[in-house]
Structure 1
Amino acid sequence: MKGLRKALCALAMSSIAIFQVHAEEKVINVGTLSWEDLTPITGVTKKVLEDSGYTVKVTSFSEWGIAYAALGKGDIQILASQIDYVAQDYWNKNKRKLEKISPVSHGLYQGIAVPKYVPIDSLEQLNDNADKFGGKIIGIEPGSGLMSDASRAVSDYGLKLQLVEGSTVAMTAALKSAIDRKEWVAVTIWDPSWMSQKFEMKYLQDPKGVFPPPQGYYWIGKKGFSEENPRAREVLAGIYLPLAAITAMNAEVKDGKTMDQAVADWTAKNADLLKRWENIKSY
């Protein structure tokens, strides 16, 4: 009888463990923004989660506020974000409802840059050469963290150049046109970006420290995600995508591939790395 009780207890514990595994085998709702640093991170993570037995649904948002609101409400479960600087305000506002899961990349940098042939090296030198730049710094979409920092740089350095709001597409076109003609141009730019591979650029030194230092990317989740999804959390914790890989995938997209194709090719070339990421403890 005693042996039977032990056997039944062991069976019960085994059944609970099996139930927990099966209970977690479900859809993971992932949020992202359609930006060239976040889409490769999301795409590669989706592939790893799917290889680990999950069904992954991805929802794309237009800006941080909407994405963080959706995460806080539970409309999505996880989101890759730079919470130290770029999205710090959104993180601070919502962090009581959220949790930091794991780092997934590092090295995002944003600033004002010029082509390498332009013989200045610092933001402090812009005013002395304002006419050569047409009195303008070519910016991107208004409301972005980069444009907010660039506006603060204009103020803190007392720059006489106008920060021009626009779009990434318009900025890229202006940059290419100027480089083709070997003209002077100052733009708001960032890494990781295909532009850092395509064009020979240099960031202007920022002695006042207006622009943040290189930033990390984290998977963040709705509070309780790790406790409810321990195996998924372990999978996420194993993923780390170097900045060079993000840049390379975006360069392939610029050359004509879709992002899905670029992600598929990168994951195929790095199958051994993905296997190591997927080699997690079983629950």
Structure 2
Amino acid sequence: MKALWKALCAAAMVGMTMTSAQAEEKSITIGTMSWEDLTPITGITRKVLEDKGYTVKVVPFSEWGIAYAALTKGDIQMLASQTDYVAQDYWNKNKNRLEKISPVSHGLFQGVAVPKYVPIDSMEQLNENADKFGGKIVGIEPGSGLMRDTSNSVKEYDLKLQLVEGSTAAMTAALKSAVDRKEWIAVTIWEPSWMMQKYDVKFLQDPKGVFPPPQSYYWIGKKGFSADYPHAREVIASIYVPLADITAMNSAVNDGKTMDEAIAAWTESHADLIKRWENIKSE
């Protein structure tokens, strides 16, 4: 009887091992938003997984709703997302069908900023200097979370400045022009962004807490990802990309490199770190 029991246990273990091995042989499809913060995270993770023998396909999305729908349906296996605020509604709606795999970066922040030569430090100081700012805060595309928060800040601080809708390109051009002339300007901006590195600006303090605190980036997957990809999950959990490095890669792109070139340069200069990430014993 004991011999039979041992044989059954051994057969079960073999079956489990075969199931795990089969799962680990699958390719992985990664979704990404085509944004300057998520593209480097995705590219670096792809590189590490491919070095470990995985076949990785990257599918770009332009809207969170479409990306989350693809993830819950299984069209993609994983997606980098901020779940605490930027995509909170989509995460909350779908989280029963999803899982957090691991954090991959931290520090996303959005707010109103001014050049550092402008001698104010708080949203509460905007009104008394409204004329110097031309009576406006230069915004980006309408409908973005940053514009929604800034609009709320205009109400909360009873600002006399008008929030001007536009585009990221137009805001960037206005910021460059003002900095070149050492003029006063208030803009809606975020970190990580090459603009934060190229232009010497500072976020205005937000004593009323209208803007959310710094947010984390997570790799998320369809529920069951970690069970289907146990070794890949361990590899992914080792990857962490500092926000400053994401900003630097985007600065390189702004200076003329392609994103693939910027990512390749980063991975080459961090070869020892990547080897440590990849030093996960295969299942």
User: How far apart, CA to CA, are the structure 2 residues paired with 1:18 and 1:188?
Assistant: 53
- Does residue 262 in structure 1 map to residue 258 in structure 2? no
Matches within 5 A, 1:104-119: 104-119=104-119
* Structure 1 equivalent of residue 271 of structure 2: 271
The TM-score, its normalising length taken from structure 2, stands at 0.93
* Structure 2 equivalent of residue 69 of structure 1: 69
SS in 1 for 2:35: coil
Matches within 5 A, 1:196-235: 196-235=196-235
The TM-score, its normalising length taken from structure 1, stands at 0.93
User: How far apart, CA to CA, are the structure 2 residues paired with 1:16 and 1:92?
Assistant: 33
Q: Report Cα offsets for 1:105-163 as digits up to 9, x if no partner.
A: 01111110000111111111111111211111111122222111111111111112111
Question: Percent identity of the aligned residues?
Answer: 76
- The offset of 1:164, in angstroms, is 1.4
Runs of 4+ in 1 over 2 A off after TM superposition: 5-23
When residues 15 and 225 of structure 1 are mapped into structure 2, their CA distance, relative to the original with a 3 A threshold, is closer
Q: Report Cα offsets for 1:202-231 as digits up to 9, x if no partner.
A: 111100011111111100111111111111
SS in 1 for 2:257: coil
User: How far apart, CA to CA, are the structure 1 residues paired with 2:224 and 2:14?
Assistant: 24
Unaligned runs of 5+ residues in structure 1 are none
User: How far apart, CA to CA, are the structure 2 residues paired with 1:126 and 1:6?
Assistant: 76
- The offset of 1:75, in angstroms, is 1.5
* Structure 1 equivalent of residue 153 of structure 2: 153
- Does residue 132 in structure 1 map to residue 132 in structure 2? yes
Matched letter for residue 106 of structure 1: H
SS in 2 for 1:158: coil
Matched letter for residue 56 of structure 2: V
Q: Report Cα offsets for 1:166-193 as digits up to 9, x if no partner.
A: 2211111110011111111100111111
User: How far apart, CA to CA, are the structure 2 residues paired with 1:23 and 1:218?
Assistant: 22
User: How far apart, CA to CA, are the structure 1 residues paired with 2:97 and 2:16?
Assistant: 29
User: How far apart, CA to CA, are the structure 1 residues paired with 2:62 and 2:223?
Assistant: 23
User: How far apart, CA to CA, are the structure 2 residues paired with 1:66 and 1:134?
Assistant: 39
* Structure 1 equivalent of residue 170 of structure 2: 170
Q: Report Cα offsets for 1:261-282 as digits up to 9, x if no partner.
A: 1001110111111111111132
SS in 2 for 1:207: coil
User: How far apart, CA to CA, are the structure 2 residues paired with 1:59 and 1:146?
Assistant: 25
Query: Could you say what the CA RMSD is over the residues aligned between the two structures, in angstroms?
Result: 2.1
Q: How many residues align?
A: 281
Unaligned runs of 5+ residues in structure 2 are none
- The offset of 1:254, in angstroms, is 0.7
User: How far apart, CA to CA, are the structure 2 residues paired with 1:7 and 1:64?
Assistant: 50
